[in-house]
Amino acid sequence: MAAVRASGQIPANGKYYTHEDWNTVSKLEDDSWGSSYQWSKTESERRALEISKKHHIPLTTLCPPFIFGPPSSSSSSLSKDGSKSSHSYSIEMVQSWMNGDSPVQSRLCVDVRDIAKAQVIASNLSHTIGKRYIVSTEARISSQKMAHAIIQSCDNDDNNINNNITCDTTFAGGAIPIGQKEVECAQRCYDELNGLTCRPVEDTMRDMAKVLLKTKTTPPSSSNNDTTQ
């Protein structure tokens, strides 16, 4: 979504973002990591489109928002103390929420399993070539609902997840308020990507938290210990 819109950018139709929207606000700035990141995503997609047209290379672009979801076994590794860690920003973020180190944030997001499925589908369909797809849930849910989904994943009171979690209730959304339709993409994905649908955010957060709790509480096997030497 960084190439679709900048923070606070008004949708072209005045209501919600579509695959026809482009980030026209973000700039390459030394003092703004966020703006520079969004600018780089936008320019990368534009450049890829230029190269594909010039050299007649088939290209389909997918624009996801923030990606959450349960990590695979290969996405985490054992740290020196035997616990599992990951360099994934989204995993570290949710872990910090569960530990109470930072408040849960409302995010426009998609499940990693859904965007991965979209990539496989799109790469095998000729009618997607030259097109751009937003693959996302269409509205944000509140930080409280995200927190509740995480808490539901905890069936062991020893984890103190319920006591740890706090919520960011200050952020009301960007140009589109939380809870309102932020992007229009569901019907197009369903029609053109073999019936693809994005699962509810609550399901994503529950599944993700369950895996993170499991990796946190499951002792490493002896074979795994050997790999850390």
Report CA torsion sign: 75, 77, 79, 84: positive
| Predicted local confidence at residue 223, as pLDDT | 36
- Cα–Cα distance for residue pair 38/220, rounded to 1 Å: 38
Indicate if the pLDDT at residue 80 is higher than 50. no
pLDDT > 70 fraction of the chain, expressed in percent and rounded: 85
Q: What is the set of domains in the chain, with CATH numbers?
A: 59-227 (3.40.50.720)
| Predicted local confidence at residue 85, as pLDDT | 52
| Predicted local confidence at residue 221, as pLDDT | 43
Give mean pLDDT, residues 2-22.
Answer: 97
**pLDDT range class, residue 118, cuts 50, 70, 90:** very high
**pLDDT range class, residue 29, cuts 50, 70, 90:** confident
Query: What is the per-residue pLDDT across 197-220, written as a single tens digit (0 to 9) for each?
Result: 999 999 999 999 999 988 765 444
pLDDT > 90 fraction of the chain, expressed in percent and rounded: 76
- In eight-state DSSP terms, residue 197 is -
- Cα–Cα distance for residue pair 104/42, rounded to 1 Å: 27
Q: Confirm if 28 and 39 have CB atoms less than 8 A apart.
A: yes
**pLDDT range class, residue 157, cuts 50, 70, 90:** low
| Predicted local confidence at residue 78, as pLDDT | 38
Burial 131-159 (b: 16+ CB within 10 A, else e): ebbbbbbbbbbbbebbbbbbbebbeeeeb
Quick one: 82 exposed, middle or buried, by C-beta within 10 A (0-12, 13-18, 19+)? exposed
